[in-house]
């Protein structure tokens, strides 16, 4: 490799990671410095109250694995705990709406966080830098402040009432800390360009840096503060949840697409739906289609619906349920789906009684060829912040199925199905693409489309992440505002429901690196505020 590249949705975080690369750190060191900063400068998307997974490839060490630090349901949770509170499922299938949004906002919404243990484990097993050194940029930004960016403010002000979930605005003002940090003294929400300072978060990160690892969070003084706060506010997380938290390491699952070998995350991650979509689309001559044409959109939509139906039927924590992803990834299964599409059959996605989601991503490759694709998140923010700690907890309980007996149902200590699909593509034995995205149910369709853009349409990495996208995770074709109106009209004439997004760049936010001839080039999805930096 002749250079190193890092890309993520937040400029401050990318800069922190790039500085680590310039100082001789490897891809893992850079990703972790970036991740800590993301928790400060995009605190409703990720942070130490969240969870995620890191796809790690280190050829000289013979390492290729997924570090899973997913959130776990509280040990006091039960499959039928909210059976009498169900209202409906969101149209995109990402979550379930309950009465009074009890699983979406507040302390009952929180699952046991895994991010900090994930960061520590990654540094110990793969990294080279000092723990406190990696956290310094995040501490500085929390204490001194940073400018509120466009996408951050858009997310804060976004009306989510159509889905039935609590608005982020209400979550920001849920806690005393939130009202102090995110609002002016007169009660108005801070605006784009305003300085956001979070001294409580700075102090918490300093405590973590001095402690030398994550033990303070799961067994030490922070664990005590967290447990006491949850008890006082009716939450389910306690000292036992934190002390018994475990992460895992697993091998990636593999697929192939037109002579490209693709490694991605196994269940409960969503690598297999992304691969299944590619396997279906491989049965079509995608490159001969006009990109964004009615026929291109129709085939994509029908393939996405079939992927979604399979995901909804089978996705869950493999420690609790059987997830037959090998069968779903077989070429025979893909050919059967493709045959139905070619025959004009229209698939139907069912939802319980009747978007953009809250995550972030990092893609990195260093000069030694070490690669990281890391997706981490709050699932959605809960609004809950322990007084004096500064960081917001995840709101992941709303993503479990409140009906018992389903693959994604609630169970004590269970990991909820994740939409993340951090992916590395290989041409022969060498990595050629490092890719991933935030965006809930839209991640798998968006990542697959970007891979097709590069492989089938021969786009550059910037063209690929910027090209118009569609998603089909319900019975409506969701199109971005750059799909031509004539295409929309043609699809409607064929009997399809079409929903046009007002966003120019819509549906997940893919951040990717493409490697060609030993030179890496990165691209940040224009939907968000990010950037790519290459280091020679």
| Two tokens, residue 395 | 């709101």
Q: What does the DSSP assignment read for 476-533?
A: EEEE-TTS-HHHHHHHHHTT-EEEE-S-SS-SS--EEEEEETTEEEEEE-TTSS-EEE
Active-site position among 121, 204, 359, 386: 359
Q: Which residues make Cβ contacts (< 8 Å) with residue 300, sequence separation at least 6?
A: 281, 445, 449, 470, 472
Q: Is 42 helix (H, G, I), strand (E, B) or coil?
A: coil
- Residue 418, annotated ligand binder? yes
- Residue 419, annotated ligand binder? yes
Alpha carbons 20 and 26: distance in angstroms, whole number: 8
Question: From the DSSP assignment, how many helices (H) and strands (E) are in the chain?
Answer: 18, 20
Would you say 108 and 174 are in contact if contact means Cβ atoms under 8 Å apart?
A: no
Alpha carbons 35 and 31: distance in angstroms, whole number: 6
Q: Which residues make Cβ contacts (< 8 Å) with residue 404, sequence separation at least 6?
A: 79, 80, 83, 410
Q: Which residues make Cβ contacts (< 8 Å) with residue 202, sequence separation at least 6?
A: 139, 142, 143, 390
Q: Which of 153, 503, 233 is nearest to 355 (CA)?
A: 503
Q: Which residues make Cβ contacts (< 8 Å) with residue 341, sequence separation at least 6?
A: 280, 299, 302, 303, 306
396 catalytic residue (yes or no): no
- Which residues, listed in sequence order, are joined to residue 373 by a DSSP beta bridge? 55, 363
Q: With residue 371 as reference, give the H or E element that holds it.
A: strand 371-379
Q: With residue 195 as reference, give the H or E element that holds it.
A: strand 195-196
Point out the annotated binding site for L-glutamate.
Answer: 418-419, 440
Residues catalogued as catalytic: 359
């Amino acid at each position: 490799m002749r250079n190193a590249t890092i890309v993520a949705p937040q400029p401050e975080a990318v800069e922190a990671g790039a500085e680590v690369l310039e100082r001789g750190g490897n891809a893992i060191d850079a990703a972790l410095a970036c991740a800590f900063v993301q928790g400060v400068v995009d605190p409703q998307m990720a942070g130490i109250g969240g969870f995620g997974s890191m796809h790690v490839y280190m050829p000289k060490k013979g390492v290729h694995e997924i570090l899973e630090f997913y959130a776990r349901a509280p040990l006091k949770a039960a499959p039928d705990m909210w059976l009498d509170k169900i209202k409906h499922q969101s149209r995109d299938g990402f979550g379930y709406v309950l009465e009074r949004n009890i699983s979406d906002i507040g302390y009952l919404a929180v699952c046991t966080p895994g991010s900090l243990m994930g960061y520590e484990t990654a540094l110990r097993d793969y990294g080279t830098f000092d723990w406190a050194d990696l956290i310094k940029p995040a501490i500085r930004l929390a204490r001194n402040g940073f400018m509120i960016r466009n996408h951050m403010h858009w997310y804060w002000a976004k009306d989510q009432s159509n889905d039935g979930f609590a608005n982020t605005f209400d979550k920001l003002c849920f806690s005393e800390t939130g009202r102090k940090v995110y609002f002016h003294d007169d009660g108005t929400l801070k605006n784009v360009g305003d300085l956001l300072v979070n001294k409580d978060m700075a102090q918490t990160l300093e405590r973590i840096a001095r402690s030398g690892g994550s033990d303070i969070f799961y067994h030490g003084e922070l664990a005590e503060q967290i447990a006491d706060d949850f008890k006082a506010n009716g939450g389910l997380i306690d000292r036992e949840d934190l002390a018994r938290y475990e992460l895992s390491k697993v091998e990636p699952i593999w697929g192939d697409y037109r002579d490209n070998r693709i490694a991605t995350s196994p269940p409960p991650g969503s690598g297999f739906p992304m691969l299944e979509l590619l396997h279906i689309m491989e049965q079509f001559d995608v490159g001969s289609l006009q990109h964004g044409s009615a026929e291109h959109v129709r085939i994509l939509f029908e393939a996405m619906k079939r992927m979604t139906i399979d995901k909804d039927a089978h996705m869950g924590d493999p420690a609790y349920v059987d997830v037959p992803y090998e069968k779903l990834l077989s070429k025979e299964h893909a050919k059967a789906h493709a045959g139905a599409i070619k025959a004009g059959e229209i698939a139907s996605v069912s939802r319980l009684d009747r978007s953009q989601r809250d995550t972030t991503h990092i893609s990195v490759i260093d000069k030694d060829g070490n690669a990281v694709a890391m997706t981490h998140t709050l699932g959605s923010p809960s609004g809950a912040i322990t007084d004096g700690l500064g960081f917001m907890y995840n709101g992941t309980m709303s993503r479990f199925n409140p009906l018992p007996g389903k693959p994604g149902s609630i169970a004590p200590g269970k990991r909820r199905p994740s939409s993340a699909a951090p992916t590395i593509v290989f041409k022969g034995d060498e990595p050629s693409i490092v890719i991933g995205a935030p965006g809930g149910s839209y991640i798998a369709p968006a990542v697959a489309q970007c891979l097709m853009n590069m492989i089938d349409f021969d786009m550059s990495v910037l063209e690929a992440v910027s090209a118009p996208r569609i998603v089909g995770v319900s019975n409506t074709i969701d199109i971005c505002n750059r799909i031509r109106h004539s295409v929309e009209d043609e699809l409607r004439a064929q009997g399809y429901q079409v929903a046009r997004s007002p966003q120019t760049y819509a549906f997940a936010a893919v951040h990717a690196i493409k490697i060609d001839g030993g030179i890496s080039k990165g691209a940040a999805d224009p939907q968000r505020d990010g950037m790519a930096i290459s280091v020679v």
